[in-house]
Structure 1
């Protein structure tokens, strides 16, 4: 249930929509027909997903074979694959194949299942004035019965009067049994020390892991137990298992911890600053050493390459193809040409002109590729840096929202398919408040709000001013990104009518992340990939996430926001928790307005028809490359894995 950041880049992709002007098909009906699933409607809950739904020969079964190379497009190369330091959709998508976690969510059933763990036990915490007791806790009349951790079968419980119990924290002790014989890609054994070290980095104030620190700090302590590792949470948390599936990036201690005797530059008395430097500047941040079914062989500006890891601990889940390539092409137009040239097998960067127009109906495309779409929890947004004096006033941010016609944008550009959200929860999920009214396009209202904040055109030059300063703000976008540039120009023109000068600055991917994380920006242009059920807002809105490197990019520091997040985090009743998230949603939109919310679109793709076994899921990133294969008889394939 973690939110993943993606630069808003392409129409109906992971965090972006492309503004392309007039519709490229003749009627609304034909557009809807073009996007209609070929056999069954969209379902937003868990359950089996169809295989090869969009393939023209889906009715003809294909026999899986092993071998071959699968090349997928990545529009923005993540500057690091270390998910403890960087919250990136593209990095996380690669790590699904390059790495493993303690537990994972089943793609279709959404239940948590073991991965590096073989199983787990959950216990509770009884908080007393004189300390804490841990174990399975039952309430019986005026007594609390605590069956202590690791107590032998049949042992009598500890009896505590209810009057001596301050509170019970449910599900706060989780003991994982770890798989034996698991090895890192460099051959070094994986063990509990790796897990404990990966938690300890959050306690080093010099480590720049601000996006994940608030989550890791929920864990009070960790200890080794026979065959596994035990976590003690500070308080009950509704998403405790999601923490270990989505957020907890396990690092190889022997490669990252200077204090580990097995580290090549071992230094037992290394300072926190030295240890942090060894993490920040570690070559493994790009030359990743993981635990997944594929082992990285190359990381460069051309992309990421990986080959099947024969030592993977779960061979049946080890994938079909021999090689995975994430090819980095920043330009969507260049990526589409690379697709036609046979250099890509899969891309999510299909523009509406391409999807609805001749580009994907010409024989050069249809002979080799198919196209389709799927829904995934995601929305696009413009973050306002509320630390900037010009953007600190709520009335200014509301005025900026009134100065753009997003309804027209969705109808004429998104073909009426995208939704216009007002909050960060998935638009289709139970914790989204559909009663919140979006600020509509109204230049008169925008002018009124600007004037109330002291901004109006005093010198007649067409630009608002105050205290001798013109109202000029900068928006960062990714260089070479046609869709981001197009939207920015549209917004620039609309804001000019309201008297605002918008400067659009194109930067590369690494610079964008750096400037946003260092809070050196006025406005950005990005998207969040969110869980379709619910998301913990701690990452986006709590004041603890506002420091440099955290995901609270807008700088929301509000006691009411913090209180709602903290209440929701410990609320185990889903209905009560969802009500708290809806209350937070309304308050943020109506009283804070930290984002200009754009749209919540489906994802559109183009896929090589030679690839089969393709499913699309509701969990990020929406697909599992290890399930895809080339059918038996395809040149370069074989019937067995070896």
Structure 2
């Protein structure tokens, strides 16, 4: 075990797996110490071949977090990959495309019928909308499919509304909100002294420890360190901030430290962190709007009357707290959010929506048994949701997060009604629902079911009453779901927001997986809006247009944030060599496919952010198409045809791969078939297996595949944690990192992206991450395609937005004289 410079005597009786040093706390250089949630450790050195050069050595300078928790020095971004083992890598050189994202979107563009027949908005009529797949359920907490999100967007609502033209957040369920910063004081700050200790040690302003985790794969339990937080007199004090910062770079440890708070009794257990040396800090916390001066001092002004600092300052006859440089040790921007709810908001059954519902949503989201892996990453750093009154709630993030506003406001989207689950738990489980934390034994004794417990989690995952017809606060209610056919929504007559109540009486989502059948349904008059047409249908089948189309329907094309890709299961031995992944990335002619099969309707991409968004690095050209270079790379990796059977082999094993996929999208099937042929030409067998969506999804989550081909729907700027962080890698994880990508430098960049508030700095980090993925090639990034649709000309108020899904049916209406359904 590595030793520290100053070791404590072994007679202190500390566990042999870690060594503690009590330090004298000196004034620290003031600075913003940002942090990310403690992720699972990255798996080893990531997915790279033995001959690869570590990019952190050749093109990246990063020392990890400093001993005082400060930011690492960085050199951004890294160089774009130009060769692998001396083999040049070809690139596609094409002019960048542009798209104006912000600004007013005109309505009814191209609708000559609307222009000739102007009319005022009117309530009434229906719309029948085609969706290309059917969701597994409609529980917003654990169903992450794009089609479910579209349906639920009319049923559930966020505390705030993101304007699709300005991208600014505006009041919705919340009438107003305030964001405040968290500031941790020096442990010797007068009147707010804090100390940290372990069993057998004297309280100290800070500790230094060395932690030795058990070997990977070992059955040994992770050592536990129980810390105690105290006041300056040595008395136990609860709810005190504790920061655990790596000394230097520790693989698997967040580069900005672990941040947590002791419990009500002043106890905090540290366990399961990667091996290495750490500095443990403690300090009182205040929050408010903080401003930093050039001399390192901070001025903190409470922005809400509910802020405890406001009362302290008022008692002292002050309005602000000034902290000199050295009087504070950590500053996290915009981590406290206070929302003030409208008092008239109701669930669809008429019951009031209150802050108790948000407390319930928070507890459900954090329940480890609830099946919401794709969501947990966004809320793992949300550590508090406290109702201050029925209409005022305070939420707190562990550390600053560039999407904190979006996800605190979005908690109401995912949250179920507390009063409904009180009834369901009482009638089906025979207990009283509680927000208390109870053990299974306490639940049985008290006849209660804790929201935090496994019993509730299992019930929440499987109860069909909520999963099939969730209740919401939005303008529409799920009236019925006919499996295999449709979901029907009806407009609420008692909806609380007159400005966003919608016009259409009924929205019918009809599930038609097959595109040919969808177009036939449109021709037969069974659909009003047919989304997700293929490029061939849009450009060829509707060319002219045909007689049945003229004077009735309109075509529409729009860009929404997304990208398509082939992914390699990096748990499979074939894909653990980077040269193989790069080689496969050279075996699909993206530009040609886009031009010939997608009719130029899209743009080839090279990375994980939205092509037209702020996080995409346009300095990274996509990989080109070059079978000869691919052969060279495969040969370098040891894949050659040694027996003349036409298949590459290594160590006696031929390269035979499987690609499970869902049938119904001809363009996706075509790209799989083109790729299959290209692989065959170089000696690789790819077997395509068509499955139903549910079976395919299970294979994906179980990581039971070799190759996959899918698309990700994105926001304008996405947090890469969900898809790319190593905490989601491995067979046991069923989240969105289905290729099990794992790389310590990627984890570091992801963690820094999350805590970087400044957009320009975050753009640099996105660029470095983009270049790292380009180098490692866990995906073959393909293209950002356009979306295509057809809708009936009687609909007005139609706009095509830049935010997914690109349309808002609450804005669509039919003039009274043209309404079909009465």
CA gap 1:259/1:158 in 2 versus in 1, 3 angstroms: farther
* Aligned twin of 2:115: 59
SS class of match (1:627): coil
SS class of match (2:166): coil
Counterpart-to-counterpart distance in 2, 1:613 and 1:192: 34
Counterpart-to-counterpart distance in 2, 1:281 and 1:417: 41
C-alpha deviation, 1:324, in angstroms: 0.3
**Structure 1 residue 303 and structure 2 residue 456: aligned?**
no
2:289 is matched with which residue: 136, 142, 148? 136
C-alpha deviation, 1:267, in angstroms: 4.4
**Structure 1 residue 543 and structure 2 residue 726: aligned?**
yes
CA gap 1:433/1:136 in 2 versus in 1, 3 angstroms: closer
C-alpha deviation, 1:257, in angstroms: 6.6
* Aligned twin of 2:47: none
In terms of mean alpha carbon deviation, does 461-470 or 117-126 score higher? 461-470
C-alpha deviation, 1:142, in angstroms: 6.4
User: What aligned pairs does 1:562-641 form with structure 2 within 5 A after superposition?
Assistant: 562-590=747-775, 592-635=776-819
CA gap 1:100/1:177 in 2 versus in 1, 3 angstroms: same
SS class of match (2:414): coil
User: What aligned pairs does 1:487-498 form with structure 2 within 5 A after superposition?
Assistant: 487-498=671-682
* Aligned twin of 2:352: 189
User: What aligned pairs does 1:90-109 form with structure 2 within 5 A after superposition?
Assistant: 90-109=147-166
Are the equivalent residues in 2 in contact too, given 1:253–1:260 (CA < 8 A)? no
CA shift digits 1:520-574 (9 cap, x unpaired): 2222221112223x22112221123336232222212211111111112111211
Are the equivalent residues in 1 in contact too, given 2:724–2:737 (CA < 8 A)? yes
* Aligned twin of 1:70: 127
1:236 is matched with which residue: 397, 400, 403? 400
Are the equivalent residues in 2 in contact too, given 1:256–1:263 (CA < 8 A)? no
User: What aligned pairs does 1:147-296 form with structure 2 within 5 A after superposition?
Assistant: 147-148=301-302, 149=307, 151=310, 155-156=317-318, 157-226=320-389, 227-245=391-409, 249-256=414-421, 265-267=430-432, 269=443, 270=449, 272-283=453-464, 284-296=466-478
Are the equivalent residues in 1 in contact too, given 2:416–2:470 (CA < 8 A)? no
Counterpart-to-counterpart distance in 2, 1:143 and 1:412: 61
Name the Cα RMSD after superposition.
Answer: 2.3
Counterpart-to-counterpart distance in 2, 1:385 and 1:303: 34
2:514 is matched with which residue: 327, 331, 347? 331
With a CA cutoff of 8 Å and minimum separation of 6, indicate the structure with the bigger relative contact order. Answer: 1
Are the equivalent residues in 2 in contact too, given 1:305–1:324 (CA < 8 A)? yes
| Paired positions, count | 596
SS class of match (1:98): coil
**Structure 1 residue 555 and structure 2 residue 611: aligned?**
no
Counterpart-to-counterpart distance in 1, 2:663 and 2:160: 37
Are the equivalent residues in 2 in contact too, given 1:100–1:290 (CA < 8 A)? yes
Are the equivalent residues in 1 in contact too, given 2:160–2:173 (CA < 8 A)? yes
C-alpha deviation, 1:159, in angstroms: 4.6
Counterpart-to-counterpart distance in 1, 2:726 and 2:754: 15
CA gap 1:262/1:309 in 2 versus in 1, 3 angstroms: farther
* Aligned twin of 1:79: 136
Are the equivalent residues in 1 in contact too, given 2:587–2:679 (CA < 8 A)? yes
1:413 is matched with which residue: 558, 572, 597? 597
Are the equivalent residues in 2 in contact too, given 1:463–1:499 (CA < 8 A)? yes
Q: Which structure 2 segments of 5+ residues have no match?
A: 1-96, 186-281, 434-442, 444-448
Are the equivalent residues in 1 in contact too, given 2:488–2:508 (CA < 8 A)? yes
Counterpart-to-counterpart distance in 2, 1:561 and 1:286: 38
**Structure 1 residue 146 and structure 2 residue 300: aligned?**
yes
CA gap 1:266/1:383 in 2 versus in 1, 3 angstroms: farther
CA gap 1:460/1:42 in 2 versus in 1, 3 angstroms: closer
Q: Which structure 1 segments of 5+ residues have no match?
A: 1-40
Bigger Rg, structure 1 or 2: 2
SS class of match (2:603): coil
TM-score, length of structure 1 as denominator length: 0.88
CA shift digits 1:196-247 (9 cap, x unpaired): 2212234322222111111111212121113221011111112211223557
TM-score, length of structure 2 as denominator length: 0.69
* Aligned twin of 2:612: 428
CA gap 1:636/1:586 in 2 versus in 1, 3 angstroms: same
User: What aligned pairs does 1:2-81 form with structure 2 within 5 A after superposition?
Assistant: 43-60=99-116, 61-81=118-138
C-alpha deviation, 1:637, in angstroms: 6.9
**Structure 1 residue 515 and structure 2 residue 572: aligned?**
no
Are the equivalent residues in 2 in contact too, given 1:125–1:132 (CA < 8 A)? yes
User: What aligned pairs does 1:524-539 form with structure 2 within 5 A after superposition?
Assistant: 524-532=708-716, 534-539=717-722
